[in-house]
Structure 1
Amino acid sequence: MVVGDLAHERDLIIIGGGPGGYHAAIRAAQLGQSVTLIEKGEIGGVCLNKGCIPSKVLTHGAAKYESLKEMNELGIEAGSVKFNMDKLQAYKNKTINQLRDGVLSLCKANKVEIIHGSAFFLSEDRIGVENGDQYDIYRFNYAIIATGSSPKPPEGIQIDHERVLNSWSITNLEIVPEKLFVYGHDYIALEIAMAFNAIGSEVVLINEHDDFMLDSSINRELIRILKKKHIQVLKNNFISEAYTKDEQVSIYIKNKTGTEEITGSHLFVSGRQIPNTDQLGINRLGIETAKNGFIVVNHECRTSKNHIFAIGDVTEGPCLAVKAIKQGKTAAEAIAGIRTEADLRFLPIIAHTSPPIAYVGLTEEEAIRQRHSVDTAHFPLSANGYAAILGKKEGMIKVIFDKDHHLLLGMHIIGYGAVELISSGVFSLEMAARDEDLLFPLYPHPSLNEGLLEAVEAIKNQAIHLPPNLMKKIKV
């Protein structure tokens, strides 16, 4: 090992080049900071290389394949079509490489220094970086921790990345599983279940809970859609053990009635995330962490050490790229002396399922628990003209208001276009919109946006494309 004699002086050091890290680096550079970004793997982090982008290539490919079934009605006739996983993998790798090159180019254009290696704190102002036989020490004025998190399987399940897979390996499959068990209740589990169902796998979705973590109306519609797709859902079931033999995986599921062994070709586990802090040396600095190991930060993303910040999956809260990106920019601005904060109250949650799911704000159940006087309505996309044109009539848009103050509390969408439409909900919640604020503007026609308008109109018994008996308080 070669040890540097002197510490290299740096202004701002960012550990981790995922979406939070590189957004922080570029924003800091825009604000005049001299930035050094340390990444031990590939730039872009888990999101670009193992998580968000690979999984969305899979869901996009599955959605395109599924849509071929609708083409004949539009007069588009084609011969036999098959799904080629090898070509999908090639497309995935090409997309990742292009996006990674784009991030590297942006860092270079903003004069962000990139150092490859594993970083760890030596003291409150020094970081050691190890890359093979090379070892260097850097003294910094500010540091941002953006090291992310890693999936942790439940006890009794060993991930082998061949038959038993997690979120980092499921998108590397080069075959379509014959029978895929999906264990989880979050958006990742739903995306994987629907994507592989679309491309030909028999899918069994195993949920530890009695429902998914969504608004009750969205849950009911989701269960109906899953049943229509012939995806079996096992509620209130736990996997106590899983093992592989030959070309099969066997799992033991436990429920109130006992234990049962079931067999398939593959098992996907959407487990909890653990923060990547073990090798950072933050304990010797006394940086405060929560009981679950995630780093505690304030509204500016400062840790208990004022000059050291933490962002993204390594901090408390949902492990989402949108959180990391916002926190990264916030930390960079705070370091530059700008008054800023990362307010995650109206964090949009999305699932690129078929159809997509998106929501922001309170569920109806949460609003009631918080003692709001609740008013709700929803508009089925089957009543939207443009959805009929597209052949995408599954789903609905639900809005939740405070009845006394007419304030929007939450928006929940399941249906084609949900991911794009949810931004209207985010903006409305951020601006404390009342029902009249959503009723007043003009909405393009024909469009799915009109479904949002009519959902709000249904609160007032004004929706044109709903009969009076289905206007208000409509439930599915």
Structure 2
Amino acid sequence: MVVGEISQERNLIIIGGGPGGYSAAIRGAQLGLSVTLIEQADMGGVCLNEGCIPSKIVTHAAAKRTEAPHLQELGIGTSDMPFDFKKLLAYKDKVINQLRSGVESLCKENKVEMIRGKVTFLATDKIGVENGHQFDIYEFQQAIIATGSTPVMPFFMKEKGERMLLPHELFALEEVPDHLIVRGSDYIALEAASSFAALGAKVSVVIENQADFPFDESINKELSRLFKKRKIKLYKELQFLSTNEAEDGITMTFLTDKNVEETLFGSHLFVSGTRTANLEPLGISRFGIAETDEGFIKIDGNMQTSLPAIYAIGDVTGGPMLAVKAIKQAKTAVASIAGLKTEVDLTFMPVVAHTIPPAVSVGLTEQRAREFGLEVHVSQFALGGNGYATLTGKKDGFIKVVSDATTEIIQGIHMIGEGAIELSGSFVQSLEMAAKQEDLKFPLYAHPGVGEGFLEAVEGLVGQAIHAAPVKRDLANTRFQINTK
């Protein structure tokens, strides 16, 4: 190893080139800062190379495969539509390479200095960067830690075998599993179950000590219906007894909600797992940086740590392990460093699942609103009454709106159906602006379009949705139920 004899001075150093890291680097350059971005692996981080993008390529392919019957109605395709998983893998690699090159080009165009290497903190204002036999030392004015997290098997999975898969391993498989057992009910588990079932795998979903999925109860009910429709076996409220791996598969034994012992055999087991912050290799803990009990970095509203020159963003700060959070924190941290006033408010961060069809939840569910003591109006508009959903053959799902009956302020918006991901930004904006029913009824909505379903769900709060049968008002629950089936 060759050690640099002198320290090199830098203004802002960002450690980690994932969505949070490279967003911070580019935003810093836009604000006139001199930025150095250090990444020890591939630019784009786990999200681009192993997580978000690879998984969504698989879910996208799965969704397209389910469109075959409708395509035949349109005169496109044949009854025999073979699926080549190897071609999908090649497409995945192509997209990842394109996106990674795009990130690198954007950094270069913004004059962000990019360095490859492993970072170790030597002081609260100094790091060492190791790259092969080269070791350089950098002093900085400010640094942002954006090193992400690593998935690990939960404590009850004592021994991890080759057929026990974490998220980055599942979406890196080179063939479709024969029978995939999905343990859990978070968005990754739901995406895995939905997509691999569409790609031809037998899928079983097992949920321990939990009655349902973590969405509004209406979406949970619809997801259960769609899983049954697609022959995804669903086991709920279980008590796990054992999980064993053999050469030919996985055996799982559990007690059902009726206290009956059952055994499930599959070719692979998927577990979302837990995540630990990527901090230990940095050596920052020995300088007294404040950490949570779970081992994540504590930050204030500006993303500043207990060490004034050091900020942290993304998974290393705990909380929801989502790229959208990391990107928002990145922009806030850099703005603060540049002397601008800014903040991060995760109150209305959308919960998104790229299932088939996708599901989105923003704000309060109906149940939570009532638990908070609110008198609510609720409207649920089925996409079967939407013209565009009908012509595209994607009528499954609905849009649900929850409002405060006293103030008419929208408290929550929940959707399962095609277009949910794209509409989620409008849902968040509506809640951020504390929109009332009238605010959302006033604008013009494109016709034909799924967005009209949002308008009709809002109009349904007062029983005025056009493309729905006359409603019946439940005076006891101040709820309109719109039926279009």
TM-score, normalization: structure 2? 0.94
Preserved contact between residue 471 and residue 482 of structure 2 (Cα < 8 Å): no
Moved more, 179-188 or 255-264: 255-264
Q: What displacement does 1:329 show?
A: 1.0
Q: Which amino acid aligns with 1:447?
A: G
Task: Tell me, in whole angstroms, the C-alpha distance in 2 between the residues paired with 1:295 and 1:259.
Answer: 42
The residue that corresponds to 1:266 in the other structure is: 268
* Distance across 1 between alignment mates of 2:311 and 2:70: 50
Deviates more, 1:363-372 or 1:433-442: 363-372
**Structure 2 equivalent of residue 84 of structure 1:** 84
Distance 1:251 1:91 in 2: 34
- 2:245 alignment counterpart: 244
State how far apart, in whole Å, the 1-side matches of 2:373 and 2:307 are: 38
- 3-state secondary structure, aligned to 2:181: strand
Residues 382 and 482 of structure 2 are in contact (CA less than 8 Å); yes or no, is this contact kept in structure 1?
Answer: no
Equivalent in the alignment of 1:339: 341
Q: AA paired with 1:20?
A: G
One-letter amino acid matched to 1:76? I
Aligned match of 1:436: 438
What's the counterpart of residue 285 of structure 2?
283
Q: Deviations over 1:79-117 (max 9, x none)?
A: 522111111110000000000000011111111111111
Partners of 1:242 and 1:190 lie apart in 2 by 21
Q: Spell out the pairing of 1:26-37 with structure 2 (5 A cutoff).
A: 26-37=26-37
Change over 3 Å in CA distance of 1:254–1:275 after alignment to 2:
farther
**TM-fit CA distance, 1:189:** 0.5
State the one-letter code of the partner of 2:428. V
- For residue 342 of structure 1, report the CA deviation from its aligned partner: 1.4
Residue by residue over 1:172-194, the C-alpha shift from the partner in whole angstroms, topping out at 9 and shown as x without a partner, is: 11111111101111111011101
Asked whether the equivalents of residues 147 and 277 of structure 1 are also in contact (C-alpha less than 8 Å), the reply is yes
RMSD of aligned alpha carbons: 1.7
2:103 maps to 1:115: no
Which 5+ residue runs of structure 2 have no aligned equivalent? 474-478
Where in structure 2 are the equivalents of 1:86-235 lying within 5 Å? 86-157=86-157, 162-208=162-208, 209-235=210-236
Q: How far 1:160 sits from its partner (Å)?
A: 5.7
How far apart, CA to CA, are the structure 2 residues paired with 1:30 and 1:455? 40
Q: Distance in 2 between matches of 1:316 and 1:246?
A: 37
Work out the CA distance in 1 between the residues paired with 2:335 and 2:24: 9
For residues 5 and 447 of structure 2, what CA distance do their matches in structure 1 show?
68
Q: Does residue 1:70 correspond to 2:82, yes or no?
A: no
Alignment correspondent of 1:15: 15
Task: Please tell me whether the aligned partners of residues 156 and 240 of structure 1 are also in contact (alpha carbons under 8 angstroms).
Answer: no
Preserved CA contact (<8 Å) 1:150 1:274: yes
1:351-390 paired onto structure 2 within 5 Å:
351-390=353-392
> In the alignment, residue 270 of structure 1 is paired with which amino acid?
S
Gaps of 5+ in 1: none
Amino acid at match of 1:280: L
Alignment partners' CA distance in 2, 1:234 and 1:442: 44
Q: Secondary structure at the match of 2:93?
A: helix
Deviation of the 1:352 alpha carbon: 1.0
TM-score, normalised to structure 1, is 0.96
| Aligned counterparts of 2:443 and 2:64: Cα–Cα separation in 1 | 33
Greater displacement, 202-211 / 270-279 = 270-279
Q: Is the 8 A contact 2:383 2:397 kept in 1?
A: yes
Aligned residues: 476
Structure 1, residues 94-147: CA drift from partner, whole Å, max 9, x if none? 000000000011111111111111112221101122222222221110000101
Code of the aligned partner of 2:437: D
The SS at the match of 1:236 is strand
Q: Which residue of 2 aligns with 1:61?
A: 61
1:473 matched to which residue of 2? 480
